[in-house]
Amino acid sequence: MSHLEELRRHITRLAAGHPGPRWVEDVQVVASERRTETISAITEPMLGLVVQGAKRTALGDHVFEHHPGQVVVVTVALPLSGRIFRASREEPFIGLGLRLAPSTIAQLLVDGGPTSIRPHDGPGMAISHADDQLLDALLRLTRLLEDPRDLRVLGDGVRREIHWRLLNGPQGALIRQAGAADSQLALVAGATGWIRARYDQVIRIDDLASAIGTSVSTLNRHFRAVTAMSPLQYQKQIRLQKARIELISAPSDVAAIGYAVGYDNPSQFSREYRRMFGAPPGQDAVRLQSMAIVQE
């Protein structure tokens, strides 16, 4: 039996009875018989493996397609939009996710010793094919999910191995930056954290650059390279995604929710919301309520 086939069987059992993604500690399993609408969310550092079906994810103007046997790596909190576009009752979409730990990567950099690797200068997200060693480690972690005692005792070691396999795989340069305190990713991670804590406030780029100890030009250059957008565009995406989640429970309170996420002008809020999600706030919220597909 292939790694993907066995992963499919384990994930199907683990996800049974859960209409959406199921988290088991820091591992997420997904089994969906239907395609989904585009869902936007801030995605924390993580690994995602497609076992069956296919998914499309957008980061700014960058669009990634994610097929069976491919692993996506996100190394900094990014505002992503994604949808499952290949799924059916006969062949459901099957996926696996694992939160990445920069502290584990940093320790592996120390334990592994010096190495020569070309620096990563692209977005903080990439997709590549998973090799047999990585698939084997992910399969062993998935087996552990079915026994809480095994997971408590053996889980940390397998998680560490997965980080090591990523560090020595096709996206090693990107993973390395996630664990290096002086890397471009570390700088952008500090900036995104600062913005997320103040997403509903008016922010000045000078203040942000000063807070993370860099110049405005350096901040803008690195931020755009990693996130494919400017700091202010990043803040806008967070505001609108927060608003979308709030509107699910209160679709008629559009103006108040727009104000709560930082918009003083209801017309501007409605205009920017429609530009991002394709429909006015109230109409979009009612539609998503009926489809029951939005989850935070």
pLDDT digits (tens, 9 = 90+) for 140-192: 999 999 999 999 999 999 999 999 999 999 998 899 888 877 688 889 999 99
| Residue of 97, 94, 93 whose CA lies nearest to 80 | 97
Tell me the pLDDT of the chain averaged across its residues.
90
In this chain, the answer to whether the domains covering 3-179 and 181-296 adopt an identical fold is: no
Higher pLDDT among residues 292 and 104, named by residue: 104
CA-CA distance, 45 to 81, in Å (whole number)?
15
For the domain made up of 181-296, the CATH class stated in words is mainly alpha
The arithmetic mean of pLDDT across residues 102-122, rounded, is 81
Render pLDDT for 69-95 as a digit per residue (tens, 0 to 9): 999 999 999 999 899 999 999 999 999
Domain ranges for the chain:
3-179, 181-296
Q: How many residues does the chain have?
A: 296
pTM: 0.86
Within 13 Å, how many C-alpha atoms sit on residue 266's CB side?
A: 7
CATH number belonging to the domain at 3-179, selected among 3.40.50.2300, 3.30.300.30, 2.60.120.280, 3.30.420.130: 2.60.120.280
Q: Is the pLDDT of residue 1 over 80?
A: no
The single-letter code of the amino acid at 60 is G
